[in-house]
Amino acid sequence: MNFGFNDYQLFAQNQKRYLDLQEINQDTLLNTIEEVGFLNLNEGEAMVLHSLSPNDIMTYFQINSKGSTRYQNLDILEITETEFLTKGLAPLLDRFEPKYCAQLDNSIVFGNSIKPVQAVIRSWKEDDHFQQTALYQSVMQNMAEESSILYIANSRGIESALSDHFAPELFREVKKANYQDYGFAFQLIAEDDFFHTTARVVRKGEVRSNAEVNPIFSVLLDDDVATQPQYVRNHYTQQWEIIVQDKRNNLYLISTDGKVLWKRKLKSQIQGKISQVDLFKNGKLQLAFCTEDQFLVYDRNGRPVSSFEKSYSGGNLNGLAVFDYDQSRDYRFVVTQGKKAFMYNRKGQVVNGFKYTETQADVLFPPQHFRIAKKDFLVFQLADGSLKIQHRDGRDRLPLSGKIDFSNNPAFLYKDKISVTDKKGVLHQVDANGRVTTTSFQQGPDHGFYTTSKTLALLDQNTLNIKGKKVRLNNGVYTSPTIFYLGDVLYISVTDIQNSKVFLFDSNAELFGGFPVTGNSAVDLLDMNGDRKLEMVTRDAANALTVYQLN
């Protein structure tokens, strides 16, 4: 049984409400937890806490322990003070008494005796993971990878759960049937103001095969690839095409079968990503981007859109930021150049109501728009360490006094908080009320950082960390991780550009079958042609792109 935590303080507020507590638990040790899991093993019962900051929790138990036992080069503590757990996680721990614990990377395993802790350590050391079993793989087919609550059991486990929590007549009916070869799963996913549930009963052994990867076409450019290849939508076919620029500043649009549809010469190199917009609200999409010294919008035939050929003396533009606050296609385009910020509407006109046109230091990244609790936040990261969080009109929304030595990573919205990292690997998060929290990941200054709304990935040198699960890669020079969420599955990619290898992992930090493949750039990934198979595009040789299909 697994419980996911987006916000422990919200859980604590619900405890006070439903358990009639006098005050909310403010324990900072529990504020860092992301998941709580319970295991019913042959050796006994165990609980696993997954935390962003497990060292702090272990320090507490080291102080409050009778002693330790060494097992497979790990210390198992016999703990004496667990009230902050039993009260802080009530009612989840009502039937579990933690007596022993040990740390496994970003997780801490607790046992009602020492044996289940040893069993978990043994499996962890041997890479004998539950997700590799026929039970797990059978029941998790067609289930979302992220859950608020997830319960998985064999026939013995489901009988126990039914007898404890369900009507007696249902338990008797299941008991009479022969479910020995079946697995059971129950999943609840809560998001925003709704939730949905899935329940499955599946014969074990119906295991999906690992994905295989095959190259389906390659494209040679006139010169070396200069920008990261990315997908853009063809609004006529609703399929996806590839857009990329070479070092001669030629911009290419490439079809789903590898044909160059057009090539256009630009004055300089594109900065950041290309965005697609519907300027005329007629379903026809245009390509919007900044080069080193221009802001341009092209139609799908590679022709410039009038009023969107803007040049800036001195160059040094960041990538283009595109905001569509209410999904109404009333776009705001933000161009940043040093300390200057220019905002335009969908007609290419300056938005006079936007006041934040001059910043106190150079803007490091394209500004970003996040929506939290139906409020809009515009985020600027500045070279002097300022994190500026503004209203739509550019006025200060959340004035912050501290400075951050920003890493080379943009801001993300993670667990409804504006999230950045510094060069020491500290995660700085700001909530909608301006409260700032920090978590140290002890990363190097050149670490990579990427999040979705609920999943965080880090890469420091050759160690990839996905939701606290660590993968040691071979020595190389790696791109920052990128997360793709497609069809309820998370895909995390990194590329070793030194050795020309692309890696693709799932949310459990397991490498997909067929990987690594040859590639020399960050990738883009989606179902390119609507055949329900994913296609991945990457730079292959210096002047070539390759598209792989995941079968």
DSSP states of 240-282: EEEEEEBTT-EEEEE-TTS-EEEEEE-SS-EEEEEEEE-TTSS
Partnered with residue 484 across adjacent β-strands are: 491
Rounded to a whole number of angstroms, the distance between the first and last alpha carbons of the chain is 31
Per-residue pLDDT at 132: 74
Per-residue pLDDT at 497: 95
CATH number of the domain to which 281 belongs:
2.130.10.10
Computed on alpha carbons and rounded to an integer, the radius of gyration of the chain in Å comes to 26
Kindly state whether residue 50 falls inside one of the protein's structural domains: yes
* Distance, CA of 440 to CA of 423 (rounded, Å): 11
- One domain, residues 277 and 331: yes
Residues 6+ apart with CB under 8 A from 191: none
* Distance, CA of 338 to CA of 400 (rounded, Å): 21
CA atoms within 13 A on the CB side of 496: 19
Kindly state whether residue 224 falls inside one of the protein's structural domains: yes
Nearest to 324 by CA among 380, 376, 397: 376
- One domain, residues 246 and 332: yes
* Distance, CA of 31 to CA of 6 (rounded, Å): 10
* Distance, CA of 540 to CA of 48 (rounded, Å): 42
Q: Look up tokens 């009507």; give the residue.
A: 167
- One domain, residues 439 and 457: yes
- Whether this prediction's pTM lies above 0.85 is answered by no
Kindly state whether residue 471 falls inside one of the protein's structural domains: yes
Kindly state whether residue 187 falls inside one of the protein's structural domains: yes
Q: Residue 317 class from Cβ within 10 Å (0-12 exposed, 13-18 middle, 19+ buried)?
A: buried
Per-residue pLDDT at 451: 97
- One domain, residues 392 and 436: yes
* Distance, CA of 32 to CA of 27 (rounded, Å): 10
* Distance, CA of 545 to CA of 221 (rounded, Å): 8
Per-residue pLDDT at 210: 45
Residue 102: strand, helix, or coil: strand
Kindly state whether residue 208 falls inside one of the protein's structural domains: no
Range of the domain at 428: 213-550
- One domain, residues 55 and 173: yes
- One domain, residues 488 and 351: yes
Nearest to 113 by CA among 97, 91, 125, 92: 97
- One domain, residues 383 and 432: yes
Kindly state whether residue 117 falls inside one of the protein's structural domains: yes
- One domain, residues 217 and 198: no
Q: Which of 203, 234, 260 is the last residue of a domain?
A: 203
* Distance, CA of 278 to CA of 270 (rounded, Å): 20
| Per-position pLDDT tens, the chain of length 551 | 999 887 888 888 888 888 888 777 666 788 889 899 999 887 889 999 999 889 989 999 999 999 998 887 889 999 998 888 888 899 988 888 999 999 998 899 999 999 899 888 877 876 767 887 778 888 887 788 788 899 998 887 877 777 777 777 877 777 777 777 888 888 998 877 778 888 888 887 644 444 478 888 888 899 999 999 999 999 999 999 999 999 999 999 999 999 999 999 999 999 999 999 999 999 999 999 999 999 999 999 999 999 999 999 999 999 999 999 999 999 999 999 999 999 999 999 999 999 999 999 999 999 999 999 999 999 999 999 999 999 999 999 999 999 999 999 999 999 999 999 999 999 999 999 999 999 999 999 999 999 999 999 999 999 999 998 999 999 999 999 999 999 889 999 999 999 989 999 999 999 998 899 889 999 999 999 999 999 999 998 788 899 999 97
Token reading at 136: 């797990």
Question: Total domain count for the chain?
Answer: 2
- One domain, residues 150 and 279: no
- One domain, residues 48 and 114: yes
Q: Which of 203, 221, 249 is the last residue of a domain?
A: 203
- One domain, residues 419 and 537: yes
- One domain, residues 363 and 234: yes
Q: Which of 203, 229, 258 is the last residue of a domain?
A: 203
- SS3 per residue for 277-310: ECCCCCCCCEEEEEECCEEEEECCCCCEEEEEEE
